[in-house]
Chains A and B, each alone.
Chain A
Amino acid sequence: MAIAQSRPLLAIGKYAALLGYLTFALFPLYWLLKIAITPDQLIFTEGTQLWPSSLTLDNFRTVLFQTDFLAYFGNSLYVSLGTAAATTLIAAGAGYAFSRFDFGGKRIIIAVMLITQMFPLLMIIAPIYKIVASLGMLNSLTSLIVVYTAFNIPFATFLMQSFFDGIPKDLEEAAMMDGCSRFQALRKVIFPLTLPGLGATLGFVFTAAWSELLFALMLISKNEAMTFPVGLLTFVSKFSVDWGQMMAAGVLALIPSCLFFIFIQRYLVQGLTSGAVKG
């Protein structure tokens, strides 16, 4: 800050760059909102204007009360929360083991987990379909949770491992000297310090599951089991691309992600371990 204050030009430049980036990144979101509140008859006539001449909430009303949107929404919420919880739980356990213990086959397991991340999804979608079909789990939300969890675990594990690596081993050992069992040390000392890591992992997995389309499209065909991204496509066929409603649905879909990140944001604050060890 001291530097920014002593050189106003540099500060202005910095903020201009930030503003430019934010405009670039957030413009599509703005456009989404704009179309969602534009009356249908104005969408094409005023297509390129930055702000429509009149506003309406009709699109939201239609989406909420005259389509299956709420059902899709509920399905997505169930799948995403389920995936986030299951993945984070498993990844936290695996990440802790990778970070703290040496065991036979550790390198191989890590290598295999890395390899799973190398294949394009399209390559494995057919075999996955076969497996799920033969288990009789097509059109079930549980199958989506299982598949999403399986796909997210490797990355989430590496993420959690790096968070555990960032917590000095001395802290656990000190806790054990203070009379904790390993599990108590984990719960009383390590867990509170891993909250940012858990938050980040939950958020990451939740968003990934929330917006996943490919598997949902393949594994779900019944209307009542559709997740939100699949349901969004129904706006294309039913109403011959009803832009206004589609965008309104999109805006509503952003809400849980935003809420989720607002909720975990305070756990993402870094520097929780500062002061633990010298230096």
Chain B
Amino acid sequence: MARIELKDVVKRYGSVEVLRDIDLDIEDGEFIVLVGPSGCGKSTLLRMIAGLEPITSGDFLIDGERMNDVRPRDRDIAMVFQSYALYPHMDVARNMGFSMEIRKDPSNERTSRVKQAAETLGLTSLTERLPKALSGGQRQRVAMGRAIIRDPRAFLFDEPLSNLDASLRVEMRLEIARLHQKLGATMIYVTHDQVEALTLADRIVVLNGGDIQQVGSPLDLYERPANKFVAQFIGSPTMNIIPVQGKSNGVKLADGALLELPHLFGTIDAVELGIRPEHIDVVEVGDLVGVADVVEHLGSDTNLYLQVEGLGPLMVREHGNIPVQPGDRVGLRIQSENVHLFGPDGNALRCHTNEAAA
């Protein structure tokens, strides 16, 4: 069990700065999810915590102890690799028990733990197979088994479910959640999948281009994104961004319409307005009028891709099935209480009155 701290951690490859000023305090038993676009440094950060990649500068602490120069084997951290990295010449049981074999644990204890892990992961009938005789999902589970066989101080997962089909993914996601509840161990988890991030995380860390954009609970990031990047990265479908002109009591849209936001102050600095597709209502007479381009009926929801005159494309998600056809003109109302405003630097304007009062 471990509290993990990163203080001003920097990673450079030659002159290329891959990670900048990473400050992160991970509590004992917390489930942290790292998200961000490809190449933003997620794997690198994980590998630095594992000890596989030297830290260029800054401090890395486990339970208050500086671990920068400690070898991977002495950090007592388990990792599930993006590529599984199963030992091809060992059967499933030996793959899973390898860490205990190295630590010279008694073999009867090893056998029983391997058996137990194989049961948890549904691998009991496969323990004598070599990795090459396994499917992708089975290999994935062996890789998980290798990590859970011992009680490490922390678990690192690098996109562990990226290779699975949708149903197995859901199953394994639940398995990981259960595992976290059972072991209560600190876990750091990298994923590209929004659902995984939002469902598993205690806190999500959003990385972009080597910088931490925001750290917060899934709801935090969804409701109060710190900047435009986070706003567009978290949530699916993606948030609409509309250019606006700040006014004293609201914002002026590009088509000239004025959106009054009396509950907000400081709107004068706003240059862009963000509104999630689910926060725009289809109404008889609204603030805007759009022409439907594409209509997707998902059953539970309807996605409308609209062209709004003077504003450009806009996406709207409406609950239920609504009878709109491509080419129809529909009235739209922006839920003013769910509006996000961004300043010229892309940062969110923290201007909710109720928040200011709090």
A-B contact pairs, 25 of them (CB 8 A): A168-B85, A170-B81, A174-B85, A176-B52, A176-B71, A176-B72, A177-B52, A177-B73, A177-B77, A179-B99, A188-B102, A192-B89, A193-B88, A272-B88, A273-B88, A274-B88, A274-B132, A275-B132, A275-B134, A275-B139, A276-B86, A276-B131, A277-B84, A277-B85, A278-B163
B74's nearest neighbour on chain A, judged by CB, is A179
The digit string for B88-106, where 1 denotes a CB below 8 A from any CB of A, is 1100000000110011000
Provided the pairs A177-B78, A178-B146 are in contact, do residues A275 and B99 lie with their beta carbons within 8 angstroms? no
| Residue pair A177, B72 in contact (C-beta under 8 Å) | yes
* Residues of B participating in the A interface, judged by any CB pair closer than 8 Å: 50-52, 71-73, 77-79, 81, 83-89, 98-99, 102-103, 130-134, 136, 139, 146, 163
| Residue pair A189, B87 in contact (C-beta under 8 Å) | yes
| Residue pair B85, A275 in contact (C-beta under 8 Å) | no
Most buried by A among B51, B78, B88, B102: B88
The digit string for A217-257, where 1 denotes a CB below 8 A from any CB of B, is 00000000000000000000000000000000000000000
| Residue pair B89, A168 in contact (C-beta under 8 Å) | no
List residues 171-196 of chain A with CB under 8 A from any CB of chain B: 171, 173-181, 184, 188-189, 192-193
Residues of A within 8 A of B130 (CB): 275
A182's nearest neighbour on chain B, judged by CB, is B71
| Residue pair A175, B87 in contact (C-beta under 8 Å) | yes
| Residue pair A275, B163 in contact (C-beta under 8 Å) | no
Interface size on A, residues (CB 8 A): 26
B97's nearest neighbour on chain A, judged by CB, is A178
CA of A173 to CA of B131 in the docked complex: distance in angstroms? 17
Partner of A278, one of B73, B84, B87, B99: B84
Provided the pairs A173-B52, A180-B73, A180-B102 are in contact, do residues A275 and B81 lie with their beta carbons within 8 angstroms? no
CA of A275 to CA of B132 in the docked complex: distance in angstroms? 4
Distance to closest chain A CB from B42 (angstroms): 16
CA of A173 to CA of B43 in the docked complex: distance in angstroms? 13
Residues of B within 8 A of A181 (CB): 71, 73
Distance to closest chain A CB from B44 (angstroms): 13
Provided the pairs A277-B83, A278-B139 are in contact, do residues A178 and B99 lie with their beta carbons within 8 angstroms? yes
| Residue pair B87, A179 in contact (C-beta under 8 Å) | no
CA of A278 to CA of B136 in the docked complex: distance in angstroms? 7
CA of A277 to CA of B85 in the docked complex: distance in angstroms? 5
Residues of B within 8 A of A174 (CB): 79, 81, 85-87, 146
CA of A273 to CA of B146 in the docked complex: distance in angstroms? 18
| Residue pair B79, A275 in contact (C-beta under 8 Å) | no
Residues of B within 8 A of A171 (CB): 85, 87-88
Residues of B within 8 A of A276 (CB): 84-88, 131
Distance to closest chain B CB from A104 (angstroms): 14
Residues of A within 8 A of B81 (CB): 170, 173-174
Residues of A within 8 A of B51 (CB): 176
CA of A218 to CA of B323 in the docked complex: distance in angstroms? 96
The digit string for A144-183, where 1 denotes a CB below 8 A from any CB of B, is 0000000000000000000000001011011111111100
Distance to closest chain A CB from B290 (angstroms): 44
